[in-house]
Structure 1
Amino acid sequence: MLGLICIDVDGTLVGTGNTVREDVWAALADARARGVRLAICSGRPAVGNALQYAKRLDPDGWHIFQNGASIVKADTGESLSQPFPKDKLPELLALARQKDWLLEVYTDTEFGITKRGDFAERHAALLGLPYEPREPETLTGTVVRVQWVVPYADTEAVMSGPHEGLDFHPAGSPVMPDANFISVTAAGISKGSAIKRVAEGYGLDLSRVMAVGDGENDVSSLKVVGYPVAMGNAEPALKAVAKEVVAGVDEGGLREAVELALRL
């Protein structure tokens, strides 16, 4: 039996209705009862729905948010988060306002936005948060990540922006299929780097860890663990590095992955 399962949210835990199947919850509860640690491993911040998922999965465990920039203990809020390069933020804010693109700026528990409107309002609802827009400059905590939320047609232009010292992690959500979420962290920070830290904290060798995901930003997760699993709805790049491909999110693929983990 494996010791840790790292679970992406959008397209893996959460399906097109922004809900989690009850059979998936039951399988996850069974795994935790048998001693398997469970960790959210998401691009979402540690607030709203994502934090509630973490608390339900493993209430006193460590969870990975913001594509590895935030590592947060669910019960205490203790953080192992990595700061975003301070010298890069002003140029990204200027670019967002020049191009009229939505850039979200995150601390562990708060975020600000450069552009109000449909994408910003729908993303707040997806996160399970009230739509209360605030300017990024008003944030008081340490910035750990920024994220572009743009139509897919703008992806190439966004990705061609400033890269030095930064890593880009594009991902989609079945809840907002018309938007591309391009998360940006300090170079070297990823879901994969965060999984290494969580596994080390639990005293687990990576060979005893499973990661399950569906998007490009999950590639680093699958590459570092002993048992990488791709959802049936996963991007081709993810399926190429997976040992196992399960059913799609809406067909209970995560339940299959958890059942597999209990047999290994």
Structure 2
Amino acid sequence: MLGLVGVDVDGTLVGTDNRVREDVWDALEEARARGVRFALCTGRPAVGNALAYAQRLDPDGWHVFQNGASIVNVVSGESLSVPFPAEALPGLLARANTTGRLLEVYTDAEMAVSLPGELAERHAALLGVPYRPQPPQALKGEPVRVQWVVPREQEAEVTAEPHPGLDLHPAGSPGMPDVMFISVTKAGINKGSALTRIAAKYGLDMDRTMMVGDGENDVAAMRVVGHPVAMGNADPPALEAARYVVGHVDAGGLREAVALALRL
């Protein structure tokens, strides 16, 4: 069996009803009992629902949040996070103000918004955190990531704009199907770089690892593991990067990936 499996959240672990199937949890917990390590690999921050998922998935393990900008041990609180380039933030905030778009700014455990309103409130509900909008200057910790939250029709416009020294990670969520989340990290920071660091922590070669995902922001991790798996509902970039394809998230496709990890 494999030693480490990275698991995306939206569209992989969590279905279109924003819930995790109990039979999927059962499969994950059985594999964990047999010695497979799991790492949540999500664009979400380490708060609310995502933190709870990580704690249940692998209670004393390392997990990837914020598209690789946050790598957190959920027991010790130890962080291997990578700071967001401070020189890039003022320009992005100015662009958000000029365009009227929502830009979220994250530390490991806090978030701020450039534009309070309906989109920010809906996203807080999706994350499972109270809607308490605060401006970016109120953040106490060091920012690790920012994120554009825009209507789907604005994705191409945002990704075409210059983001020097930064990487963009577009992703959707079944819980907000009309919205695109375009995460922005320091160049070279992604789910793949983070999962590689976690495998090293566990003393595992990458050929004994798996990544299960459905979105474009999962591709970096799928490219570094030995066994990339796409959900049946995956976007084309994830399907192209996959060696295996399992069922739709709402049909419990993640169960199939877990069973595969136990056979390999």
1:118 Cα shift? 1.4
Give deviations 1:107-162, integer Å, cap 9, x for gaps: 00000001111111110011000000000111010100000000011112211223
Aligned to 1:257: 257
Does residue 146 of the first structure (1) align with residue 146 of the second (2)?
yes
> What is the aligned-residue identity percentage?
66
Question: Matched residue of 1:240: which SS?
Answer: helix
SS at 1:159 equivalent: helix
9-18 or 148-157: which moved more? Answer: 148-157
Q: Residue 54 of structure 2 aligns with which residue?
A: 54
Distance in structure 2 (CA, Å) of the matches to 1:175 and 1:203: 36
Q: Distance in 2 between matches of 1:164 and 1:94?
A: 15
Check if 1:192 corresponds to 2:178.
no
What letter is aligned with 1:90? P
Give deviations 1:89-113, integer Å, cap 9, x for gaps.
0000000011110000000000000
Give the superposed CA RMSD: 0.6
* Counterpart check, 1:16 vs 2:16: yes
What is the aligned partner in structure 2 of residue 211 from structure 1? 211
Opposite residue 202 of structure 2, the aligned amino acid is Y
Instruction: Find the residue that maps to 1:19 and give its secondary structure.
Output: coil
State the distance in 2 between where 1:119 and 1:247 align: 30
Tell me the amino acid that sits aligned with residue 64 of structure 2. I
Report the secondary structure of 1:94's partner residue: helix
* Mapping 1:57-206, distance limit 5 Å: 57-206=57-206
Match of 2:259, SS state, is helix
Gaps of 5+ in 1: none
Moved over 4 A (4+): none
AA of the residue aligned to 2:177:
P
Residues 210-250 of structure 1 show CA distances to partners (whole Å, capped at 9, x for unaligned) of 10000000000100000000000001111111110000100
Equivalent AA in structure 1 for residue 81 of structure 2: S
| TM-score, length-scaled by structure 1 | 0.99
Q: Alpha-carbon deviation of 1:163? A: 1.7
How many Å separate the matches in 2 of 1:241 and 1:104? 29
Q: Alignment partner of 1:126: what SS? A: helix
Aligned length: 264
Any stretches of 5+ residues in structure 2 without a counterpart?
none
Looking at structure 2, the residues matched to 26 and 97 of structure 1 have their Cα atoms a distance apart, in angstroms, of 46
Indicate the SS of the match to 2:87.
Answer: coil
Partner of 1:4: 4
Displacement, 1:33? 0.1
The SS at the match of 2:185 is: strand
Cα deviation, residue 164, structure 1: 1.1
SS in 1 for 2:261: helix
What TM-score, normalized by structure 2, do the two folds share? 0.99
Give, as a single letter, the amino acid of the residue that structure 1 aligns with 2:233.
N
Residue 232 of structure 2 is matched in structure 1 by: 232
